[in-house]
Each structure stands twice: as C-alpha cells, then as structure tokens.
Structure 1
C-alpha cells in the first residue's frame, strides 16, 4: 500500500508529463526517413542531361537581397549590390542566367538545410531513420544518385558535408575545413579558393560535380552582423571568386550558386523568420540556353513575392525544388523522398514546353510513389487527416493528363506536388509557438506548485497525512474540472490554433487547473514559513546550474561546471567539521566530506568529449578518441572494484551495526556476484572485439558474455529483489534471560535488537544497491568504476548529513538551558530540523555528474548503442531500447532513488507510530525536492531553447540539452515514485509489524 505522500508525487509527475508533452509537440520536429532509393535502370524516370558537369557553390547564409537587383529600402552599403555578377548576367543573358529567391524550411541551420537541398525532403531535428548512431544522411539524395551513376564528386569547404556524406566524395578531391570556429572569417573560404580554381583550370582532371561551401559571410553575420564593413569585404571577395569561376567555366558545365539559408538582422539564423528562411539561388549556363527565347510560361507556374521592405516582386521558389531540378538537368533520377517541384524556367527548352511536361510528370509520379510508401510505413497515420484530399487531387491529375489542354495538365500536376509539400510541411517542419507556450506555462506553474508543496510539507508535523487526504480531493476535483474546461476550449478555440487537439486541451486544462489550486491551497499562515533564515539559504547551486542553459558555451562545458558546483555544494557541511563540539563529530564530518570530494574528483577523470569541446578536451572514458575500448587501467581495476564495492557498503552499515540479516546475505554473495558478472560481460566484449583469442573464439565469447549479463540482471531481478521483499529488515534479534530485580530468584525474558538505530536506512540501501547491480551490466567498464565511486559518494554524504544533524541537535540542546535532555534516546532527532534543500543539492548534482562520468554528453552522438546488445546478440525489441535507456538515464535514476535515504539514514524508529509518520513525510519531501531540482533545470532549458530557437546552435546544443532535461525529469520522477512507493512503503510496513509484535516500552 503506497504512502499518502505518493499521491502528491504522482500529481507532480503528471504535471511534468503534460508540460513536456505539449512543449515537445511544438518544438521537436520529427518524421520518418525512408531509406528507399529511386532506381532508373531503363532510363524511363529521367531526362537527357543538358550539361555534362556542374559546379555547385554554397555561400553560407546568402540571403536573397544580397544578390537582388532590387534590394529593400533602406539600401545597405555593406551587403546590398556588392555581389553584382549574378544580376548583371541575368540582365544580359535572360535565357542562360536565372536569379531566384528560395524559401528554406526551418530549422534554418546548415545541417538540416543541406539535407533538404540534397534530398528534396523536409528534414527536422529528429530524423527517425535506420541509422540511429550518427548524422549521416540515410535517405536517397542527389549526391547518392551521382555515386550510383558512377560520377566523381569533388568537395571543398564546410566539413558538415563530409559528416552527412562520409563516403561520397572522391578522396583525392576532398578538402573539408572545420566549420565550428565562428570567429575565423577566412580560413574556410581561402581553402575553397585554393582548391577550386586548380580544379577548374586543370582540364585533364576527371570530375563530374564540384561542390564548394564558403562560410565567411555566415561567420561575419554571427560575429559582427550584416551591417558591418567586414561584410562588404567578404562579399566583395565572393563576387571576385564568382567572376573568376565564370571565366574558367566551359560550355558543358552548369554553375549553381545558392545560400543554404538567410540571416536575421543581427546575423543569426535557425528559426523561421522571413530573413532567415530567405536564401538566394543563381543558375548560369555558359553554353546551352536553358530557356527557349520564345517561350511563354503560364503565369500560374511563376510564383513571385515581395522581399520584406522591397518594392519589386521577385521570382520565388522552394529551396527543395533544387533537388529534382538539378537531378533531371544532369540526367539523374529524382531522389525518392523529394517533395520539391521542378523549376519551369530550367526545362522550357522548346516553345511548347515538352521537356517541362516530361519533367513535371516524372516529378509528380515520384512524389506520389513516395507518399504511398510513407502511407504504408509505421508512421503513415500522420497522413490520415489529409490523405483523402491528396487522393482526390491525384485523380484530377490522372484526368487532366488524358485531356488535350496542356495548361490544365501543368496546373493539376503542380497543384498535387505543392499540396503534398504543404501537408508534409504542416506535419514536420514548423515550430508551433502556441504549443510551446502552453508547455512552458505548465512547467512554470508546476514548478511553483511543487515548490509550495515542498515548503508546506516542511511546515507540517504529524498531521501531514490528514492534510494530504483533505487537499487530495480538491486536487482530483480540480483536475476533472480543468479537463472539462479544456474540452470546452477544444470546441471553441482549437480550430484557430494549429496542432491543438483534444488530448492537448484536456492535458493543459487538467494540469493548469490543479496547479493553480495547489498554489492557492496554502493557508494564510503559510507565508510565515518563508523567514529570513530560509531566504538566507537560497539554493545558489541550483540557480547557477539553471542559468548555464542561457549560454551555448556554458551548456557545452556543463560537465566541468557541474563538477565545480558539486564540490562547492559540500562546503556548508564541511564547515561544521571545524566547529563540532566533539572530536568524533569533527573527524566524521571532515573525513566523509573529504571522501565525498575525492570520489567526485575521481569521477571527473572520466570524460567523453563532444565536438564543440575540441581541441580542449581529452577522451579518457575510452582508450582514445578513435578507439572505443576501455583504457588498460580500467581493465585491471574493474574486477577488484566489483568485489570492493559491496564490502564498502557493508563497512558503512557496520557503523550502525546494521549489516545483519538480509544485508549480510546480499552484500557477501548476491551483490558481489552480480557486479562481477556485469563487469565480466564488458571484459569479454573487449576481448571479443579485439580478437584477443582469435576469430575462432568469437562465437564462444559472445555466448559467454551474453550468459554473464543475463545471469547478472536476472539474478538481481528474480533472486535479489525476491529475497529483499521477503526479508527486508537488516536486524539481528536475539533473546535471553536475566534476573528480575523486582522478583528475587526469578528471571525475565530479554530481547536484544542489533541494528535498531538504522532500522529504516539499512533495508533501503540494500533496495538501492540492487538497482545499482541491475544497472551495472548496461554500463561500460569505465562507467562502472564511476558508478562505484558515485555509490561511495552517496554513502559519504549520508554520513556527513547525519553528523551535521547531530551537531545541530547538540547545539539546540545546549542552547535550550536543559543540557540533561541530551540523555533522552531521541533528543538529537527531536531537536534537528527536517529535510533541507541544501542536503538534496549534492545528490541532484551528483546525478548529473554521474551522467557525464559514465561516458555521456548532452548530444546524440554520445549515446552508447553497444548497450542495446548486452542481453541479446541482435537488435531485439523491447529489450534493446530499454537497455539503451537504462544506460543513458540509469545514473540519474540511481542517484534520485537514493534521495529518500536522507530521511531514513540513522533515524531512530521510536516512538511508534510517530516515528513512522515522520519518516514517510520526510521521505516524500526528499523525493519531491529531487524532482523539484530537475524540474527547475527543465524549465530553464525549455525557456532558453524557446527563446534562442533562432540561435546558430539551437539544434546542435540547446535542443539536445532540453531533450536530456525532459528525459531526466521523467527518469527522476519514476525513481522517486519507485523509491517512495515500493522501497519506503515495504520497509515501513515491515518495520511497523516488527515493532508492533515486539511492543517495545
């Protein structure tokens, strides 16, 4: 039976889930990436090429008005009419030179835009393809089609290309340059120039497509803004480069110049603003003309728009239109996932537009095939709402194709391709600011409500369960009332707010109404809890930690920041060691504080570097940055650590003589064996992957290590927890007899209970240790050592807190004027205060520290996919995803599971039942405090991600950190619920039954 505090914790969990769900529905953009490839062995899905070769130049952040002959007012002397060659040639040669404004779908970051340019699809932050382990493009693309056709591709510039296409470019003509250093304005551009011109001058060099990606304009924008003299210098350099490229072009080479995105007025990008989504495209053919001199293109095929501030409309296309257009111009099939539409001007080679008709037909058929395949995929339900309309439009295409009216054919096919794009764009590539705002509202009100609950529980005494039962009815009623209001809102408002469905309305109404009721439920006297003393103990580490997410640099180096904050958080406890009234307390506080700090520093030795930390970070979690095997020292230490950790836990329990009963069995047999088997798996994995015993032994090693992991985790689940459930208490009870002084010559029965002083804490630490053993096989060897250090740090912190409470208790007794009160058994406990947030802060920070120390970063590439194969040699659902989740979030879950120990450790179990009520209250409050810490980090991360969604690094830094915060909150909440509901509940019931049977006086 769950404790009363569990209902409050469940409510907090519900509000967290509601806020996360609404926010992520608006912020994190997802879609399924199909790996199908458009093959054209018979040549029926392509056109004869217009050019033999192509030069594709990308000027990063080349906004359309940088090239426009009609720039907006007021004209800037720094970035308008500086790159003038495209407008000059377009005016002189209107059949060979075309200038377009392109709409680049958000997120307007280079990685996502390169995916859109080459595949013709709508990439989002999370592309759920088959390749989960990296950023390479798994979809069909223009680059992939070139490779399939046997074409040689030369590349120079931004190394993002070699990340997304790691094996696509000719190794002798590939020159990537680091793209991360925004302060470097010239190195990448100079490198492109240095390698591009010799390629164009050397006619004997064999290449088919040359790609150059310049970064200087983008970096000037980020560092200095577009209205700066340096921008004019950089754009002048680009104009000179273009003039030389045009001079070196032969008649069989097509020149394509484009920007991957634009930039806002401050020079940043990433979001969906007009200036960010506006990019330039210039196509030039020195030889064959692209547009027939007498062509009459229907107006409905030529979309135009006004650039903000401009007075003359410009020809406007979608950026993804480049993928099908360039593919067909070079005689290649259109990429399978393409949603773009071919550009009419580039296919109107005759007066009647026959080539355009053929190109548009191939284009429409390709999009229809893609949508049919997507519809049949596991994510096909996303198209349900629009599928009927898409099918009707396709039927119109079929009818119009048979008609004689050529214009009707073009109009029907264009309508279908654009409608398909509009449907998919609505699903995949738009921020939903409304849902983001609703999610942030719930996170904010939920955090405020949880804070008030935490303070309220601290002010309540033995009547807290009655108060919880009373207000619980109001919370439930408010949730149902809020859901009803949400339903009314769905009926009346949802039609005006994109993405606001019935589920969203019900969740928002229910969570918001109950949060407001919690905030308003405090009695008038509640404000008295907030005293000058409480204001003096503001959780400064939490505030500093939350502020980290406002800076990309601090977020990148969060692992170092957390180490500093963690060491700092123990200083308030260590200072008691110098003023404690007894030498024993002084030694305990200073000694265990030093042990805690030592464990933290040793954990910090384990590092995994994220890309942005280079070259200032050195990998120690693995043998090297390119060798994903454990360091030799770790191989030597892992087995001794697995044996030593249970012994260390036993030594800590021995301080209170609570290493008896089930603790003796667990810590001397089950736990050491489980840890050894968990380490043995990874030792054998190392020997297997390195072929240490030859390839003929690989199958044996695979079978052996799989068996080791299964025995380890299975033994903990089915043997360890079963034994703990049957015999949870760590007590030794003996009976004897002694003379009865009240009756000479007679004896009376005497019961001796050993381990009584830690009757709650010892069983729970065994419960906690079993999860540590369950987590052990899912963590690689270096991570196992850091987990062992984290376990020792938790125990050291518990002893420090316990000793500090003793000091505070002694000080309170001596200052009361009644020193004899110290002789009472529960004197120190009765005078000490309840759980303080400062006591929880080191554990919360330790959880984040353990995450980093076990080889993780707030970046997708740091996910340790090896964990998926611990229990099975192949990918198996749901085991493999669960193991990866355990590997990633397990450290957070483990440390959060230890939070209730602050309420249990060395707490006297008498008098009953008052002690039991107090323990359950403090345990619930400790768990709530841990949830509150991580919820505050989530709120800060979400706010910063939403506010900085146009930042250069939003999809590389801020969004992944928000994802980690959201997953961490879920893991921490579940850990607290598991600990309070199962761990505390079972220990409390078992202890109450025992004490009732003993009926102590």
Structure 2
C-alpha cells in the first residue's frame, strides 16, 4: 500500500521536475562567452602608457557614500566621512585625483563583479549561482593582457581572484585567503597589509601590477550592518592603509581604489538595489596629471547621479568602464569582450582632448569588432532585431561631418558604445520560447492531471488499492511509451526546435504522454457538485495565483498571503457557528481564533523589499541597518524554546497521546534541542556585538559551534533513532476482570490518536533540525507556526465530528451515535479548503522568517552555523535549510490532516482509508504549490519583456520552482518514511494484541 501511494506522488514529482527543467532552460539562458583575444602586435590598438605600474586596491562592498564628500542625509557617524583621504586629495589635487560612483551590474556578488571589472563584460541572471563555486575566466581580460605583455602581477587577499585567474599571478608574490568566513573581520585584511607594504617599500620588487583585495568592510556589513561602531573601526583602518600606500607610492605608479559592489541597509548584497549596485572608484596619480588643468569636457560626456538621499549630484560611470580605461592607461589592448566606455577625465591630457579622441576611437572599434564577431557566431541571430539600429549609429561615427566636428564625433562614438551596452543587456535577457513552451505544456498538463487524481481519490477511498494499481499501470506505460515517442520526435523535428536535445525530447515525451494517459483514464465525477460544495472551491488559491500577473501584488505578496490565510479559515468559523453541540462550537471557534492569532503574530515579523520602501518597516532585525535580533526577541527566545514543547504536549494530552515516546521526546529531547538552537544565535549576537569585548570572540565562537552541533547531532542521531525504534505514543495496560481467571481487560491510552501523535513527533524532530539554522526571530515564527498547525488540526478534527454527526442524523438512525466508532470516519475525504490554510501557512512562514522573493533576503549567516569557515556541503545546505526549511516543515505536516485523531479501527480497513486520505492530503499540498508555479511561469513568460521581469517576475518564478521541489520532497519523505513507519508499527501492535 505504501508503494502505491509513493509511486503516485513520485510520478507527480517527476512531471514537476520535467516542466521546471524545460522552462528554465528556455527562460534563464547564459550568454555565449567568446574566447577571442584582442591581439595588438603592431601597437595600433593601444596608447602610450601614462604609468609604468599600477596598484589596484579592492575594498569589498565599498559603497560610494563611504567615500563621498557629500553623503546622504542623515549622516551616519559609522560609515560617512570616515575614509576621508580620497576626498581630501580630490579637493587638493583636482587634476591628479578623481572620485566616481560606479554602477555594478547585478548580481552584485564578488565573483561576477570581478569578471565585469577585468573583462568589461556583463553577467546573466543565473550567474550568481556560481559565486560559491566559481570557475576560471575564459574571456579576454586586462589581467590576461598583462601576462601576454610579459608583465608580472602580485596579488594578496580574497581567494576569488586565484579561482578565476588560477595561473595569472606570480607564484612568489601571491597570498590568497579564504573569502567566505564572514565572521572573521581581520585575517584577510591583516594578511593583505602584511604583504602589501613590503612590496611597496622594496623598489626592486619585480611587479608591474599589484592587486590587494580587502574583505573586512564586507564582513562587518554581513555580521553587524553598516551602522555599527565596528564598521567605523574597520573603515578607519582602511583610511590608515590608504595614507600609508600614498606615502610609499612612486610617481610612475597609478593608484586605483574601488569597491566590487555596495551593500544594502543591512550590510548584505547580491541583488540589484540602489545601495547594492553603487560602488566607489578613486583614481590617483602622484606623478603625471590625469587631466589637463584647462580641460573643457563637454557635459554630454559626463553622467551624473544623486545617490539615494544625497543633495549633491556625483559623477557616475559604469563599473565595466574600468576595463578599457585601465587597459589603455597601462598601454594594453582593450579586452576583446569589453562593453565599457573609457572615462573621459582620465584621458584629457591636453586642452583639446586628442588623447581622449584616440582612446574613444579604439574603444568604439573594439566594441564594433566584438559585436561583429558575436554576430557571426552561432548565437548571432540574437542581434537581428537591434543590428540595423547599431549599424545606423556606426555610420554616424564614420561620417565626414562627424570626422570634421570633433564634439559630434565624441558624441557619436559614445552613443555607439552605450547603445551596444544597452542592446547586450537586453540580449542576454533573451529567451528560448520553444523550450519555455514545452515546459509550460508540461506544467499545465501535469497540474490538471494532478487535480484529476486528487478529485478521483476522494471518491474511491474504499477501493483505493485497486484504483491506485490501475492508475500506476497507466502512468508507467505512459512514461515508457512517451520516451519512445520523444526519441522519434528528436530524430524528426529537433532541427526545427532550438535547444531540443535528446534528453529534452525524452523528458518531454515521457512526462507529456504519461500526463495525457492519466487525463484519459481518470474522469472525476462532477455530479456531486452543489451550492454547499462551493465552500471547497479553492478561491484563495485562485486569487493567489492571479496575483502574480501584477508586479505590485507580487511585490506585496507577504501582505497578500496574510489576508488570504485569514480568509481561508472563514469556512471553518462558519461551520463552528452551526455545529450541533456547544462543545464542538467552542472548539471550532476557539481553535480558529488561536490559528488567526498565530497568523497575525507571525505577520509582525517582516523584512522589506526595496520596492516596498518607504511603506515597509523591518521588524525581523533590530532595524533596517542592524542585522541583529530585536531586544524583545532576545528576551523571548529561551522562554519560547521551553514553552513550545509544553504546548505540544498539552495538545497531545487532549487525546491522551502524551504517553510512550512522547513522554520522553517532548519533556527532554525537544526542549534541549530548541534551547541549544536558541543559544547559538544568542551567543552569535553577543559575539558580533562584542558585548564582552573582542577577546571573547574565540570562546564564543567555540561555544556556539558546540551548541549548534549538539542540537543537530542530538536530534538526528538520538531523536530520530528513538522515534524509529519506538514511534508510538501509547500506554497499554492489562488487568484481569473480576470473577474470571482467564480473561483480561486491555486498556490502551492514546488509541484515538494512534496515527497522528507519533507522526507529530516525527515532524517535531525536523523542526529541531531547522531550529538552529533559523535566526531568533524566525525561531519564534516557527513556534507560532507549530501552534497554528495544531490549532488547524483540532479545527479539522472537530469539523470531521460535525460532518459525522450530520451523516448519522441524515441516516434516519440517530441511535447509531451511541456506537463506539460513530465519530471515527476516516473514509470522509479531505476537502481542499482544509488543505489550503496549511499550504498558505508555508508561504506565510517563509516571509515571516525573514525572507522575500528577492536575492538580498538570503541569510548568509546560516552558512556558518556548524563551522566558522565555508565548508562543503554543509554551508550551502544550511543556507538552503534556512531559506526553504519553513516550506519543507509545513509541507511535512500535510499527512497530519488525514491522521490526526483518527483511531485505527477497524483494522486493516482503517489503515487503508487513512492512507488514501494521507495521499490526498499530500497531493493537495503539491497541487497548491504547483498551481502557483504554473501561474508564475505563465506570467513570467507573458511579461518577459516587462521592465521588471528580472527584478520581480524572474525571482518569483525561481522561488516557486524551488518551493515545488522542496514541497514535493517533503511530502514524499513524510509519506514514505513517517507514515510508512507509523502505520507499520500500528499494524504490528494489532497483530500482537490479536495473535489469531
């Protein structure tokens, strides 16, 4: 029986994976990276170098306002006007020192930004995923050009550089440090300082380019945010380093200071918010001046921008402009794939701007050559729509009128390079519509087939075994025959469908054919529809799915979900008013009120998307700029960890199910696990805030690591082992009846909840796994979610009693109510309206635990719960657990809808009926999230040319896709392991009690 339910759910999971794979293959494309190199044997494609050497210092996450002489209002004493040397020298030596704000293309992760800085090329939407496992750069770069010119490069700092340039740096002058230990604020910076100054002092050191990458500012931002005394201390250190570097700088050495990206108000980055994409650039020449004192640069060549909150506009460039600029200043060719434009101020060496004209001409011709090569490549068709306009602009570059009018020529060349950049930004947002269509077809047919299975499953509960065996034959044969049809399609039509390989054809054929087979074989009866059944129509799901058609509703989805979740229990509340007994009325209304209260309290925890400002206020953290827990949360963390197990035990006590394993698990194992999980984050706060001083950092790191490891190790190796050996929550006693010698009376306490109670313990153990990976505010949210689930289960149980009473009264035999199992009717199928609140609660918990459908909300701190450094596979798994653990946890509770307070009588019929409802509950949970996935995919495809597609719709689609995978795995794990073990032990218990 278990295999039939699991195989059905596994098939649905397979169709989901197939649809997601094909759609994302068409929706999220990576660009074609050309391996061509800009070779310049005759020197005709470069300029005479202005400097013999260059020092490039990268301060990770150096946002522009950290250097700006006109920071935004109100000024922060922690990160404004702390690094002051750049603004001082720019004011004193205006022709030798220039300060710029750079736009760093999203994703604002270090690996992608280093690629952009060194190659001048652009990332794509999914490039961020490689930040944890970056590969070497295969494109032309100014680092590669330095090596081809026989120059030597010294490097020290963030080891991301040695990942992308594994053989480019001189072995004797390379000192790389781990870049992902965000809790270490000083080791990398001190390592850079240790090796930087000896090379600057040694005038015979054989380096031509010296790169130093500091990480402290970025790590301080991640740990405590920009508005913290630690940030001021770190920036003061950086200012001191810069002053020492300038003192040691030779006249023929160019100094370039930059940030690879910025940071948001909490100190994080990765997305496309204004604060994340804003990076600083300072260029300083101690010797030759960079700009002629009487230079009159036309204003149309200079772009300005107001930093958010600033009252003075600042000079604004693209970060990729650094690649062509630095290359030409050092006498190197511009990298072949570059799309940046040279910075005018750094080439206006004479009053007329002749050097700038030469630099811009080389720049424009390099961009033209790159576009032409791309046009001639296998992906060149992507340029078709824009090629005519680009060629038209290029003609103006070479026109006689523009050649004679220098200002017009500058404008034409600048327009061409900037238009090429704009076209390529759109180009690498191109879509393979064919693969997207195939994916959508699978998502549609798979969702409809799952809905048919769900409806049919509610009508065949007594024949569950026979029906499931017949359905399995259909979808297994559909998969096999579909694979053969897919192979034939690959042979015949793959040449006409872009991107359709053999694997894609086999996948599409097997998934589509099996879905169509289910639709043909499963015909749910609609004859039972009535006005009363309208209560079961999935109106919250319909509204939730329709919300993705609007960017505003998608942005405010956290508020939309709260409304839908409260609305979803309206039907239950109405049932409470009409319940036939006062006890049932009080139970339904009381537990519905408890559910609503938990939902509202969870909604008090928020993080804000950039688009929600200024109407949103962060409550998950202490403030929008301090990523530490609020003081009330710190005070409540320990009491919540102690009270939650007690509440769980009180709910089990209602059915006398707090016996057996529950008597050990709830008073001892679970409280210990939750306390250790809370202790980790309390100690993390004390460590990051330096409450006891920096000298305690090592001890606090050790203690909290031990707490996290003890919590996870205890629940995995002890808690699950105990549950596996003895999952039941029963107390069995036997006594001899009075006056008899051979007859005994057996009393089983907890019998009425023999399925639900042990599965709840199984669920609680996963909550123990999730707890240490969740920050303190999120832990309180999870506790509220647990109480909400239990309240909903009690409401469903009471409504089941109401439906049973109504069925008895309608039968015309009211005396049947006196039968022992009159109210135990597991054969009554679940309604979708009873599954909907749980599915919505999963989405609500995701938002309330500090997440949004946006990259900046990822809580990178979770990666270091078990270790102080980035450790595979644990660090990525912990980030995934932190992000999608709430979805997994609540989806894992879906079988409880069918098992809660369902007694195993009569056996084995009750077990069969319970399993049918379990599969239906799991299928309903999968169906809800699959419908959201389908809606987000349709809306993303339909609105793929929308201005906000990559900012709003694409991230929401990716969240939906990952959520479906997580939810599907959760219900498969719950049904296969949890339900299978519980039902097996219950069956063996009956066999032992009834040996005949």
> What secondary structure sits across from 2:522 in the alignment?
coil
Q: 1:985 to 1:544 in 2, by over 3 A?
A: same
| Equivalent in 846, 859, 866 of residue 861 of structure 2 | 866
Deviations 1:872-891 (A, max 9, x none): 11001111110000000000
Report if aligned partners of 2:39, 2:333 keep a CA contact under 8 Å in 1.
no
| 1:541 paired residue number | 540
| 1:120 paired residue number | 120
| 2:407 paired residue number | none
1:999 CA drift (Å): 2.0
Q: 1:429 to 1:779 in 2, by over 3 A?
A: same
> What secondary structure sits across from 1:601 in the alignment?
helix
Q: 2:960 & 2:863 partners in 1: Cα distance?
A: 22
Report if aligned partners of 1:131, 1:138 keep a CA contact under 8 Å in 2.
no
> What secondary structure sits across from 1:624 in the alignment?
coil
Q: 1:359 & 1:568 partners in 2: Cα distance?
A: 60
Matched, 1:881 2:876: yes
1:493 CA drift (Å): 1.5
1:804 CA drift (Å): 1.2
| 1:61 paired residue number | none
Q: 1:905 to 1:799 in 2, by over 3 A?
A: same
| 1:992 paired residue number | 987
Q: 1:211 to 1:710 in 2, by over 3 A?
A: farther
1:578 CA drift (Å): 1.8
Q: 1:151 to 1:865 in 2, by over 3 A?
A: closer
Q: 1:949 & 1:832 partners in 2: Cα distance?
A: 46
Deviations 1:1-43 (A, max 9, x none): 8342111100000000000000111111347999xx9999xx9
> What secondary structure sits across from 2:276 in the alignment?
helix
| 1:378 paired residue number | none
| 2:477 paired residue number | 477
Q: 1:356 & 1:582 partners in 2: Cα distance?
A: 85
| 2:587 paired residue number | 588
> What secondary structure sits across from 2:124 in the alignment?
coil
> What secondary structure sits across from 1:476 in the alignment?
helix
| 1:551 paired residue number | 550
> What secondary structure sits across from 2:747 in the alignment?
strand
Q: 1:169 to 1:589 in 2, by over 3 A?
A: farther
| 2:916 paired residue number | 921
| 2:309 paired residue number | none
Deviations 1:271-314 (A, max 9, x none): xxxxxxxxxxxxxxxxxxxxxxxxxxxxxxxxxxxxxxxxxxxx
1:833 CA drift (Å): 2.7
| 1:654 paired residue number | 653
Q: 2:864 & 2:825 partners in 1: Cα distance?
A: 51
| 2:622 paired residue number | 623
| 1:829 paired residue number | 824
1:761 CA drift (Å): 0.3
Report if aligned partners of 1:129, 1:138 keep a CA contact under 8 Å in 2.
no
| 2:504 paired residue number | 504
1:812 CA drift (Å): 2.1
Q: 1:910 to 1:151 in 2, by over 3 A?
A: closer
| 1:24 paired residue number | 24
Q: 1:642 & 1:214 partners in 2: Cα distance?
A: 49
Q: 2:502 & 2:426 partners in 1: Cα distance?
A: 18
> What secondary structure sits across from 2:462 in the alignment?
coil
> What secondary structure sits across from 1:722 in the alignment?
helix
Q: 2:369 & 2:589 partners in 1: Cα distance?
A: 75
| 1:245 paired residue number | none
Q: 1:819 to 1:19 in 2, by over 3 A?
A: same
Question: Which has the higher mean CA deviation after the structures are superposed, 461-470 or 24-33?
Answer: 24-33
Q: 1:719 & 1:106 partners in 2: Cα distance?
A: 44
Q: Which runs of 5+ in 1 are unaligned?
A: 52-104, 172-199, 216-240, 242-254, 261-318, 372-383, 387-420
Matched, 1:694 2:689: no
| Equivalent in 948, 953, 960 of residue 943 of structure 2 | 948
| Equivalent in 303, 325, 328 of residue 212 of structure 1 | 303
User: What pairs with 1:738-749 in structure 2 (closer than 5 Å)?
Assistant: 738-740=737-739, 746=741, 748-749=743-744
Deviations 1:836-879 (A, max 9, x none): 00000000000000000000000000000000001111001111
User: What pairs with 1:158-169 in structure 2 (closer than 5 Å)?
Assistant: 163-168=276-281
Q: 1:713 & 1:854 partners in 2: Cα distance?
A: 20
Q: 1:512 & 1:783 partners in 2: Cα distance?
A: 40
Report if aligned partners of 1:608, 1:857 keep a CA contact under 8 Å in 2.
yes
Q: 1:160 & 1:39 partners in 2: Cα distance?
A: 37
Q: 1:803 & 1:127 partners in 2: Cα distance?
A: 51
Deviations 1:766-792 (A, max 9, x none): 000000011000000000000000000
Q: 1:833 to 1:359 in 2, by over 3 A?
A: closer
CA RMSD of aligned residues (A): 4.8
Report if aligned partners of 1:121, 1:337 keep a CA contact under 8 Å in 2.
no
Q: 1:335 & 1:126 partners in 2: Cα distance?
A: 26
| 2:514 paired residue number | 514
| 1:602 paired residue number | 601
| Equivalent in 789, 797, 817 of residue 802 of structure 1 | 797
| 1:966 paired residue number | 961
| 1:453 paired residue number | 453
| 2:265 paired residue number | none
| 1:640 paired residue number | 639
Deviations 1:134-175 (A, max 9, x none): xxx9999999999994469999xxx9776334232699xxxx
Q: 1:358 to 1:537 in 2, by over 3 A?
A: closer
Report if aligned partners of 1:152, 1:206 keep a CA contact under 8 Å in 2.
no
Report if aligned partners of 2:45, 2:362 keep a CA contact under 8 Å in 1.
no
TM-score (norm 1): 0.68
Q: 2:726 & 2:603 partners in 1: Cα distance?
A: 37
Q: 1:429 to 1:800 in 2, by over 3 A?
A: closer
Report if aligned partners of 2:826, 2:910 keep a CA contact under 8 Å in 1.
no
How many pairs does the alignment contain? Answer: 752
User: What pairs with 1:375-774 in structure 2 (closer than 5 Å)?
Assistant: 430-523=430-523, 526-528=525-527, 533-535=532-534, 537-740=536-739, 746=741, 748-774=743-769
Deviations 1:549-608 (A, max 9, x none): 001110000000100110111111012222222221111111111111111011001000
Report if aligned partners of 1:487, 1:505 keep a CA contact under 8 Å in 2.
yes
Q: 1:426 to 1:360 in 2, by over 3 A?
A: closer
Matched, 1:814 2:818: no
| 1:981 paired residue number | 976
Report if aligned partners of 1:805, 1:832 keep a CA contact under 8 Å in 2.
no
Q: 1:129 & 1:934 partners in 2: Cα distance?
A: 23
TM-score (norm 2): 0.68
Matched, 1:907 2:902: yes
Q: 1:204 to 1:635 in 2, by over 3 A?
A: farther
> What secondary structure sits across from 2:945 in the alignment?
coil
Q: 2:569 & 2:627 partners in 1: Cα distance?
A: 34
1:997 CA drift (Å): 1.6
1:811 CA drift (Å): 2.0
Q: 1:114 to 1:695 in 2, by over 3 A?
A: closer
1:337 CA drift (Å): 8.0
Report if aligned partners of 1:15, 1:511 keep a CA contact under 8 Å in 2.
yes
Q: 1:508 to 1:153 in 2, by over 3 A?
A: closer
Q: 2:732 & 2:39 partners in 1: Cα distance?
A: 78
Deviations 1:910-964 (A, max 9, x none): 0000000000010000000000000000000000011111111110000000000
Deviations 1:944-999 (A, max 9, x none): 01111111111000000000000000000000000000000010010011012212
Report if aligned partners of 1:763, 1:987 keep a CA contact under 8 Å in 2.
yes
Q: 1:601 to 1:725 in 2, by over 3 A?
A: same
Report if aligned partners of 1:153, 1:208 keep a CA contact under 8 Å in 2.
no
Report if aligned partners of 2:607, 2:617 keep a CA contact under 8 Å in 1.
yes
Q: 1:716 to 1:510 in 2, by over 3 A?
A: same
Report if aligned partners of 2:535, 2:571 keep a CA contact under 8 Å in 1.
no
